[in-house]
Amino acid sequence: MPELPEVESVARALRRSLQDRRCTGLRVRFGGVLEPSAAAVRRAMVGRRLAAVERHGKYLVLTFTDPGPTRVMLHLRMTGQVFVLDGYRPDEHVHLTLDFDGQPVHYRDIRKFGRWTVVGPHWRDRELGHVGPDMLAVRFPQWYARVAERRAPLKAVLLDQGVAAGLGNIYADEALFKAGVHPLDRPADLPAATLRRVLRDARSVLELAIRCGGTTILNFTDFAGRPGNFRRRLRVYGRAGEPCRRCGTVIERIVVAGRSTHFCPRCQPSAAIATDLRSR
């Protein structure tokens, strides 16, 4: 599933390549990805200029003007891709092709779970009222107030989009490894300094992943159809049974909140073990 870095990569590419250009056409091959209808999305986009691209967590909102403004929210969900590729011939999974002054932009989605939804000016409150502040923007006091008393595993709390939006499975594992925190530790059992480190390192991992164009595990590609390069930098995610690149200990895999979770038992000792070691 595209997470914050992948969605931010798409947002930056849209701003760089298409902002201030006019959407001059929309070819629909599967209208099920358009809400409330293909006609409504067409009215909101075609003939209008792309004036702004905003991101909140894993959501994008495209604002069109002249006339306008109108807004369309894009959620890539599991397998959504937006890209420009010269000479590309759309396959069966390309559901939309937008035209921007002669430039075709394809939307491809194998699972068909992604959505393009017409939204109003108060979309942050109405459509995203259930979502917390963006992970790259939330301040520590605000985030700490949301997590400090939680007794669920920290990995599960990091995945809770109602706490902070954008962090998904890959980057939660990588952030916890960088912070040296066990995924089963509970926020309520950890000192504020440790939680501050987790937030800091989560942001650091996200920012590095953005610079790398995200992570491609299955089928994510960037705006130019290229896979994300952060996979080469993964330290624990997807590396169960392999040696830790820091200490050589075998990476372990468990399931937390229904999600595959990877960690190094030596670099990420549980809080109870770490406390015991410090007391010796």
Active site residue ranges: 2-3, 58, 259
**Crossing angle of helices 192-211 and 169-179, rounded to 10°:** 130
How far apart are the C-alpha atoms of 17 and 102, rounded to whole Å?
A: 13
**Crossing angle of helices 4-18 and 192-211, rounded to 10°:** 40
Residues whose CB is less than 8 angstroms from the CB of residue 139 and which lie 6 or more positions away in sequence, other chains included: none
Q: What is the DSSP string of 186-249?
A: -GGGS-HHHHHHHHHHHHHHHHHHHHTT-B-SSS---TTSPPPBGGGG-SSTT-TTSBPTTT-P
How far apart are the C-alpha atoms of 88 and 93, rounded to whole Å?
A: 13
* Residue 202 identity (one-letter amino acid): A
The two structure tokens encoding residue 240? 């169960």
How far apart are the C-alpha atoms of 186 and 106, rounded to whole Å?
A: 43
Q: Do residues 183 and 254 touch, judged by C-beta distance below 8 A?
A: yes
* Enclosing H/E stretch for 124: helix 123-126
* Residue 118 identity (one-letter amino acid): V
User: What does residue 26 show for φ and ψ, rounded to 5 degrees?
Assistant: -145, 115
